[in-house]
Structure 1
């Protein structure tokens, strides 16, 4: 590795790893750094000016609004200080995921101390002036958030919503064999469902090809207002729980800084020795038994080193220290006196020189260059991203001699492409497929020709495709799949999350947070674009007739399209070749959340590969071969569609109109990129009004068949000139266990209903086409009687193909 640049404010230091215990001088250096970080953290919460306390503290030096979280911050500072020591002593490539992300003051303080903050934000220099800016900007208008947000160097985890830190840590460690990922888990986070599932991620970590994760369970006793469960468990019960999860716990506790420094240093050295041994025996000796990885349980008082008591009430070591221990500092002279005493207790004159620069003792263990936690390139994953080498789609496309006559399973076709990507990345290992136990069910099992399913537990003769080095991640936890891929993509690698459509809602909140992260990151020039997070939603609403109502929900698309337009994309490819083109596009993209909804059941092939490429590039377009307009006059009606089953029903309706109402000029428009329906002012892919009107017309009726809830189409198009002429059919929350065609009939999305809609909405057609409308209504009645007698759909439905006549 290239030599890191010298730090003029840091002395050369050849540290002993400390396996035999710390010397008094080493403890003093660690304590100086920890006190400096605590001082900077408290200063961010309170101080508007006077950062070095060069004059007595006055009310005008205090921020008008006091925001932030003090309670967890001293413990985070302690962990950061000691990670610095082992990184320096062992030359570790390490990052840290800070689960209590609301402890933002700590990570900001440490980034400033190590110099990485000033490198990213030169105006926040490592001196008194920069310290003042660091303090002022925290939770202040025009400044930075109180959480460990994208603006914080060294962060890949926001922590505003708790539960995801450990999954993110394991995602970062996958395929990063030389990386150590420390993960701090707080009291409250330890009680969440996603975190509870994440303890099982160690069963998927390959000690040969993956890095190591070192969880630090930071128990300070309380959440916002209540005691935390794990902190109150008897030590023996907590130990059994953690060992049952497959860890070897190491315990550090107390409130005496000197003793805790020595104990934490010893625990870290023991944990890192354990990790090094486990990796050595796996890599050099071929021992594939799953290691019992170490874990540190750190117990420190909540609000440690802060005010012990305020207004006669205990604060330090209680829930009252969670946010701002002294809230009336501007108006209450006693609170102001306490604050000044608190800040001066860190002895800032021993930590910073007259210009506000950290003194050498404070920086003795701070790593250099890219070894610093705030500067490690894995936390700015775009710096390490290498593009996927995607194979030519011609090798996987299905031939289409005539539209709507041959059938393929779109996701099975995609599976062959993914298998090749897996094979091509076998050496580089920068692509993963994740899903909740559904890879084969979703017809993607061709990938097993190139890689197995990650698995570190015992295997049985009946098992299939399990492999220690597998890159398919299957676990029945959508939270884990999402968290793994977030950590994986944020550290510069590529992935795809395949899920049943109805159950991807389990990660609604997680995708919210990831989209917010990406939106903020895009505005930061120093953060490089990272690979997109890609969803493949299959086993979708229209083909869940066998599983029934519980498996029928297409609303994830609505949820995603509520989010930041510059980040989100939604694709509904109507057939196998368009799915290939969409997949090729999203796997090349950066800084986005892409949602693809595609079926796994046999469905018609409509477009050849070249046509599919052109159609996907447009995002929405007229299928001239499917309509009957001649170009001599505007169409009488537009049939719009988005989604594979709606497309089939629209094409079947167009076929019926050709036969029964040949004089009618029909235009068929298919939408593959849902964001094309938005105005161009609201989304980068949106259409101008002129483009939209040219496609859908400004004054002709539009009957639109949509895959999901129909009101989404109205929301996307409500400003368009012809919106009053738009009639949308879609899923109306009506479902059961029934036949495939009965699902569309029950929701009025079927071909017969669409023909009736056309007759009802084309001016003057209703009177002329009464017999046709009546025949369509009779077909729906005949359908209901048929399925109740035979249990299958009408032969005219199951045997239908596109005739084009």
Structure 2
């Protein structure tokens, strides 16, 4: 945000106060009208029960405060020529933000049938929380939004994500005092230690204290003023407090607060950018105390409503049935004097629009809230430059994520000037073998730096904080405002953001249905340090269930990939980083892993998503007796070791080896865009032969994906079954019956006729498992035949 004229001690003129109040009253009228009215939008006839919606849904309590903030943001944006975005944190602020976007005209531009007149106002009212209409929260359908209000706690993280690498952007963030009680929001205050005043925009938190949640007081609203002030200063902010219930007084005080805050932001940015000041800024914020449900009914049925928790949702509930409530509603709506705010045709009068900026500077029209309009193609070089050479399968080993780190380093270098790619993770970049990126960018850090520290950088684009919530929130805000990124995380702990990814998937699904929302870069997860190689950390670090969680979600949005080696990881990552409007989950190991496919083979295999590895099987053109399937790096190794044992002990057995990279390929085509038609699935897995499937995660996921397939009765899946501890790597697979010996036993048990013919082989496999059990307890390491195993066809 560039510095504008100073407004030290600005006092609104009477004319400015009058027009600001007119805008605020108009927004309040429209917000209340959306909750209650299905017709008669301008009250041109006496209010009657048939004008009232049959089901009253929505939330009034937070709306007047949000309308106030929107009104005053309009003033400073217009006066200072700002590029601005606002993140509306209170979960139920839909009526307010819809009202304001309709007033400024951005809503009608996106939805031309909701015109800015009486007819359009009636549609605006009717569609709110109505079948076939729009939800009660600030959602993708609301112009200017990047934040789903349905789940609280993430607004401030989203705001910082939007500000990173947008140096000329002001991101205001309204934080409800109920939301402020959540853990993610509490952690989000520390985001200011990562905001670079040189290359990033500014975030202006606005803590809106209206005192109550659904039925209880809020913690921060009940803190004594000095204690709250000390808390916020301890977080590194300079709070400016505005409070009251007299509209004129609050308007004047809030205008002064905005001007003081924006002057302070401009000063901090100028000193950092022009004078080279590197001391961490203490950014301003606003604490706004206004009554909950302000300007609504003061009392209903003899009990107080305004300023209490009773104003949270619908202050007057029985309007259709209760004549006194109907009378109160009419008086309430008329108290805004709509005849002064809208002309006879229902269009907002000039006074109402006096503070509204023009064009793309309107909050509902800013391209920063429709990031697909700003996103550029990510420069990704040829994968051959990073691939590992593979002359024959299983002859060499590499750490897949370290190989990927080379690609990410180059992406970081190629985006250094444009600054639109970030890597986020909870203190694990080096642990996850991605440290090559530090040769291109250090870790973002604005707090104190000591000589012993490594890779900390005031201008870095690698972001580490021990909060998965903040990593997720930052990246979501970054992507939704037109940039690219990757979230690297230990597999077991990505569950911390289960509910956050839910909301992002819902956001993307809805956005894809809106023609005016342009596709944004996908949210990409790299899950490593995974279940099978957490043998040192133990049971607490062993959980592969995030894949199950994601695959429950909208099929048009979610993708899950399990590349078995370094080159397939490169191919999958290349695809994910180039994609739009998806949530891509990539699970890959960081420990040394056999290289199975050359880069060319990896490209073909990943494009196919699932395929036969002819070199690993013994079909030789004949129909297989059994299919050994695998998905994931460790399961793939165990399947190939099992195939080798079968080749040695049962050479006449026709074994097919199938590797699955794209988990959604297992779904029917009718259920997922990547799903295989039945004929293709049957050609790969057969319709009537035993299939022994070694899977990275919980076995029942494979059954759920394939339950409608012809051969499902022949499908036997091995995977993780919650048997974990601190042990050796191979013992992890033995404990969960995923090991090579168990897989050979499964083949013998399920191929007709082998139970008798191969009883001796089965006994050898069981003996090997017993020998393993004894060996690791004596030596603390895996059997030499396992530890030193290599593939040999």
Q: Tell me the TM-score normalized by structure 2.
A: 0.99
In 2, distance between residues paired with 1:41 and 1:739? 62
Please tell me the root mean square deviation across aligned C-alpha atoms, in Å.
1.0
Provide the residue aligned with 2:315 in structure 1.
325
In 2, distance between residues paired with 1:616 and 1:371? 43
Asked if 1:556 is matched to 2:564, the reply is no
Provide the residue aligned with 1:786 in structure 2.
775
Asked if 1:404 is matched to 2:371, the reply is no
Is 1:649–1:751's contact at 8 Å kept on the other side of the alignment? yes
Q: 5 Å matches for 1:714-753? A: 714-753=703-742
**Secondary structure at the residue paired with 1:745?**
helix
Is 1:573–1:672's contact at 8 Å kept on the other side of the alignment? yes
Provide the residue aligned with 1:799 in structure 2.
788
Seen in structure 2, the aligned counterparts of structure 1 residues 234 and 81 have a Cα distance that, compared at 3 Å, is same
Deviations along 1:666-708, one digit per CA (max 9) or x if unpaired, are 0000000000000000000000000000000000000000000
Provide the residue aligned with 1:6 in structure 2.
none
Seen in structure 2, the aligned counterparts of structure 1 residues 144 and 15 have a Cα distance that, compared at 3 Å, is farther
**Secondary structure at the residue paired with 2:157?**
helix
In 2, distance between residues paired with 1:96 and 1:483? 15
2:746 pairs with one of 757, 763, 767: 757
Question: CA offset at residue 16 of structure 1?
Answer: 10
Provide the residue aligned with 1:374 in structure 2.
364
Provide the residue aligned with 1:8 in structure 2.
none
Provide the residue aligned with 2:758 in structure 1.
769
In 2, distance between residues paired with 1:310 and 1:381? 44
Question: CA offset at residue 401 of structure 1?
Answer: 1.2
Provide the residue aligned with 2:331 in structure 1.
341
**Secondary structure at the residue paired with 1:296?**
strand
Provide the residue aligned with 2:522 in structure 1.
532
Asked if 1:546 is matched to 2:520, the reply is no
Provide the residue aligned with 1:274 in structure 2.
264
Provide the residue aligned with 1:701 in structure 2.
690
Question: CA offset at residue 405 of structure 1?
Answer: 1.6
Is 2:10–2:255's contact at 8 Å kept on the other side of the alignment? no
In 1, distance between residues paired with 2:17 and 2:342? 18
In 1, distance between residues paired with 2:572 and 2:602? 9
Asked if 1:666 is matched to 2:661, the reply is no
Question: CA offset at residue 630 of structure 1?
Answer: 1.5
Asked if 1:137 is matched to 2:127, the reply is yes
Provide the residue aligned with 1:110 in structure 2.
100
Is 1:15–1:88's contact at 8 Å kept on the other side of the alignment? no
Q: 5 Å matches for 1:488-503? A: 488-503=478-493
**Secondary structure at the residue paired with 1:69?**
coil
Question: CA offset at residue 248 of structure 1?
Answer: 0.1
Deviations along 1:12-60, one digit per CA (max 9) or x if unpaired, are xx99968531011110000000000000000000000000000000000
Q: 5 Å matches for 1:226-237? A: 226-237=216-227
Q: 5 Å matches for 1:435-446? A: 435-446=425-436
In 1, distance between residues paired with 2:661 and 2:261? 51
Q: 5 Å matches for 1:286-435? A: 286-435=276-425
Question: CA offset at residue 626 of structure 1?
Answer: 0.4
Deviations along 1:366-400, one digit per CA (max 9) or x if unpaired, are 00000000000000000000010101100100001
Is 1:18–1:265's contact at 8 Å kept on the other side of the alignment? no
Asked if 1:251 is matched to 2:241, the reply is yes
Provide the residue aligned with 2:641 in structure 1.
652
In 1, distance between residues paired with 2:275 and 2:549? 49
**Secondary structure at the residue paired with 2:287?**
strand
Provide the residue aligned with 1:7 in structure 2.
none
**Secondary structure at the residue paired with 2:627?**
strand
Is 2:529–2:590's contact at 8 Å kept on the other side of the alignment? yes
In 1, distance between residues paired with 2:620 and 2:640? 18
Provide the residue aligned with 2:208 in structure 1.
218
Is 1:101–1:157's contact at 8 Å kept on the other side of the alignment? no
In 1, distance between residues paired with 2:290 and 2:447? 34
In 2, distance between residues paired with 1:16 and 1:505? 47
In 2, distance between residues paired with 1:440 and 1:186? 37
Is 1:16–1:89's contact at 8 Å kept on the other side of the alignment? no
Q: What runs of 5+ residues in structure 2 fail to find an aligned partner?
A: none
Provide the residue aligned with 1:9 in structure 2.
none
**Secondary structure at the residue paired with 1:612?**
helix
In 2, distance between residues paired with 1:101 and 1:516? 15
Provide the residue aligned with 2:185 in structure 1.
195
Question: CA offset at residue 402 of structure 1?
Answer: 1.3
Provide the residue aligned with 1:634 in structure 2.
623
Provide the residue aligned with 2:152 in structure 1.
162
Q: Tell me the TM-score normalized by structure 1.
A: 0.98
Q: Which portions of structure 1, spanning 4 or more consecutive aligned residues, are displaced by more than 3 angstroms?
A: 14-19
In 2, distance between residues paired with 1:679 and 1:223? 45
In 1, distance between residues paired with 2:702 and 2:479? 31
Provide the residue aligned with 1:451 in structure 2.
441
Is 1:621–1:695's contact at 8 Å kept on the other side of the alignment? yes
In 2, distance between residues paired with 1:535 and 1:41? 39
Is 1:150–1:520's contact at 8 Å kept on the other side of the alignment? yes
Is 2:24–2:68's contact at 8 Å kept on the other side of the alignment? yes
Q: What runs of 5+ residues in structure 1 fail to find an aligned partner?
A: 2-13
Provide the residue aligned with 2:672 in structure 1.
683
Provide the residue aligned with 2:167 in structure 1.
177
2:700 pairs with one of 674, 694, 711: 711
Is 1:17–1:89's contact at 8 Å kept on the other side of the alignment? no
Asked if 1:83 is matched to 2:73, the reply is yes
Deviations along 1:688-742, one digit per CA (max 9) or x if unpaired, are 0000000000000000000000000000000000000000000000010000000
1:604 pairs with one of 588, 594, 597: 594
Deviations along 1:499-540, one digit per CA (max 9) or x if unpaired, are 000000000000000000000000000000000000000000
Asked if 1:128 is matched to 2:129, the reply is no
Is 1:17–1:90's contact at 8 Å kept on the other side of the alignment? no
**Secondary structure at the residue paired with 1:301?**
coil
Is 2:426–2:471's contact at 8 Å kept on the other side of the alignment? yes
**Secondary structure at the residue paired with 2:568?**
helix
In 2, distance between residues paired with 1:139 and 1:19? 42
Question: CA offset at residue 274 of structure 1?
Answer: 0.2
Asked if 1:26 is matched to 2:16, the reply is yes
In 2, distance between residues paired with 1:257 and 1:206? 36
**Secondary structure at the residue paired with 2:524?**
strand
Give the aligned length.
791
Asked if 1:486 is matched to 2:476, the reply is yes
**Secondary structure at the residue paired with 1:441?**
coil
In 1, distance between residues paired with 2:479 and 2:376? 11
Question: CA offset at residue 159 of structure 1?
Answer: 1.1
**Secondary structure at the residue paired with 2:656?**
strand
Question: CA offset at residue 101 of structure 1?
Answer: 3.2
**Secondary structure at the residue paired with 2:370?**
helix
Is 2:691–2:716's contact at 8 Å kept on the other side of the alignment? yes
In 1, distance between residues paired with 2:278 and 2:573? 35
Asked if 1:262 is matched to 2:241, the reply is no
